[in-house]
Structure formats: C-alpha cells, structure tokens
Structure 1
Amino acid sequence: MDLLTQVVREAPVPLWVIDHQGLVSLANKAAIRFLGYRGEDDVVGGPSHDLLHCRRPDGSPYPEHECPIVGSGGSALASEWFVTRSGDARPVQWTTRSMGSRLGTLLSFSPQPRAQTQMVRDLRSRGPAPRTPAVQVRGELRGSMLRTIEARFTDPEFTTAELAAGAHLSVRSVQAIFAEAGTSPAAEIRRARLEHARTLLAQGSAVQTACLASGFQDPGTFSRAFRQRYGVSPSQVPALSV
C-alpha cells in the first residue's frame, strides 16, 4: 500500500477518489462511516453518483448528467446533500480536486448541521414518503439485475461477478441488495436456470439437453439442484403436471 493511499484511508475528513468513468476507486474510513456503509467493498467499484445521491431528499430522480461532482475534472466547491445507505439525507459541503489524468478526482466533504435541521423540517412539512430514496434505488437496481439474469442465465459463464460488473457495483454490494429481498444473486441465477430446464423437460427434451441449454455445465450438479428444488429427479418431470 503506497503512502498516499494510507493517508487518504486514515484521514479524519471523509474522502474518496472518483475515476474517469465515475466509479469509486478509493474511499476512506470517515467517508464510509458517514454514509453508513460497512466497508470499502460496499462502495469501491460502484458508481459514485448513485452511492452519494442518485435521488434528491424528496425522492425525485437526480440524473447523473446534472451532478456537479462526477466529471468535474478540476477544483470545485459547493453545498449539496448526500443520501446514506439507510436513506437519510445529509446536507454537506464538498470540494473536488483533480489528481491528474491517471488518478482521477479527489472528493472531500463535511456535514452542515444547520442545513440538515432545516432540511428535516422541510421534508416533514411535505409528509412522509412511502419509501426512502435509498430503498427505492436499491429496489430499482435489484429489478434491473433480475432482468439481466433473465436475459443471460443460459450462458454457463454468467456468474454473480459478471452481474456485478455489468451493474458497475462490487460483488458484496450486489449481494447486499438481493439480501434485502431475502435472496441472493446466485440463488436467482440458479432459479432461472432450473425453471427453464423444467420447462424444457416437460416439453420432452432429454435431461442432458435441458441441462446444457439452461446454463448448467455439470449434469451431476444440475440433477442435485433440480431434486432439491422440485423434489424429483429431472427424468421424472414429464410425469408432472406443468
């Protein structure tokens, strides 16, 4: 670990580095604590705008192209609000500074307690929102990833890591998003494959054909997973009412 990285990670001021694709490449302990995440794995590799404030405090969308932070490319200073992992809106003052063409942009921020008090009053005057911004965003991300799973599960190389890469999130972040719904990305990929295989088998496909066409590479693994889910072996499917 180089000296600069160590200094950033241990600094008392919340800091993180945004690369040229708008992704978080480094986040220090103070920033992670302020935003309510558990560790670097929850944010590093994820889209900076989404992790900071993809929704405004009232729940309305905040498009990335309107964000003054991502892509600022130089020095800037402004007041803004960030949304924590639990959905709390926190007003902050932030600054950015270019770290050169190779490293990207360094973002630092600090809370504004007075502004936060006024924001809470404003939000309360509008009445309670049915869902917090962060919860809504994670639900939308989960829905988008479920659609990706349905489109790609037949690819035997498609894994949780591939799903996370396509969503520009870390594997742990993706797992946390699915855990909120009581499932996991791996379980959803396996569910899609097994349901497809069951349909093929009911239509008369051979076990080997259904196995490979559904994204399974090993017949033994397929048979065990199928029996665990449906209580019968794949060869017994035609006898089931579908």
Structure 2
Amino acid sequence: MDLLAQVVREAPVPLWVIDSHGLVALANREAIRFLGYRGDDDVVGGPSHDLLHCRRPDGTPYPEHECPIVGSAGSEPATEWFVTREGDTRPVRWSTRSISEGHATLLSFSPEPRAEARIVRELRRRGPGVRTSPAQARAELRESLCRTISTRFTDPQFTTAELAAAAHLSVRSVQALFAETGTSPAAEIRRVRLEHARELLVRGHAVQTACLASGFLDPGTFARAFRQRFGCAPSQVPASLSA
C-alpha cells in the first residue's frame, strides 16, 4: 500500500481523492502544485468543492449542490474552472472514477489547452444584464497576462513561452492578444524590465544592480535596450533627470 500511495503521490498527472463526505482524502504533488498550495496540510481534510472552485470565473458563488464533481460516481472527461490558492481561475479537463467500493471518488484533471475560447464563453455566462463582448474578454485576458509579467519579469528565464504556459495558452495565442494593441509579449516583458531598471537608477542604484535586478543577464544588451527606449545610457539617468 505504501508503494501504491507513493506512485499516486508522484504521478505526473494531478490526482485528487474525495471521500464520501466531500472532503479531500489525498492530493498528489502535481495537484497541489497546479492549485498553488504549499502541501498536504493545506488541502487534506478540507472541503473539496471549496478548495477546487468555490466561485465561478465571473466571481459569483458556485454552490456545492451544482458541482458535478463532488459525489460523482464516475464521469467521462468534461471541462470546469478551478480556482488557485491565489484566486486565479484556470480551465481544466477532468474526469472521475469511483474507488474504495464506492466510498471515495478519484478525480484526475489537466489544463484545458483551449483556454481563450472558454474564457470568452464563461465571461458571457455572467448574470442578467451583464454583457461581455469577445473584445472585452480578450482585453481581460490580456490584463491577466500583464499582471503575470509584473510579478515575474525579474526572472531572467521568464520568456513569452513561460508566460503562455502560466496561462495555459499557446505562444501563438498570447502573441495574437498583444498584437491587437500594437505590441508583443516579448516587447512588454522588456518594457516592464526597463521601466523597473530606470526606477532603480533614479533611486541611486548602480547600473549593474539595476541590470541584474530587472531580469537582464548581459550588461551590453541592457545598455543598448535602455538607450533605445530612453535615449540615454543607464549611467546618464541621474544627470539627465536633474538637468
């Protein structure tokens, strides 16, 4: 049994076991990672529905009695929206199987790759009188991507591919979203990095410190990009502002 439990825990697919009372009996590492929790203590013993999706993508409550997962005796693959510990909404493809002679439910899920189209559909399902056009939905998705950039730009390994993976979208979809505003995800990442570097320089930090703290690894690349955007070398920032 210990070996089987270890296999489940280390499986590359998110697995989640719900007991007959609707509580989480087991969650493997991948499920915990996907939902942004720190470990077993955050989820095991807690109400499964609340931990997976206590609200809908538009922010309205999601009553447990409407949830197709808790109490399911087994289902074919379907789509849902799960909510991470940080409150981010993620589209998933899920299925369940009855285990332990019907006393528990094994839930497996994976990111839904067609996130963008589903975001549009879910946003259209808002309450009466609330209308969301495809353009508005795409704008909201773009804003979400920008928020991700603002929290991860200092990582020099953060790229367009990483941004797309975080949102469960293809690189092409992310590029198309930014193209609508006349830019690109790579350009936006660089813009945020340069703005941050400039702020550090204004506050008196050394050029090398500003370079590395903003996600640049190569000082030469940083200097060229900085000059192209601001019209001066990084070392000239304090003098140019005080002139």
Scaled by the length of structure 2, what TM-score is found? Answer: 0.48
- Work out which structure has the larger RCO, using CA pairs closer than 8 Å and 6 or more positions apart in sequence: 1
Relative to the length of structure 1, the TM-score reads 0.48
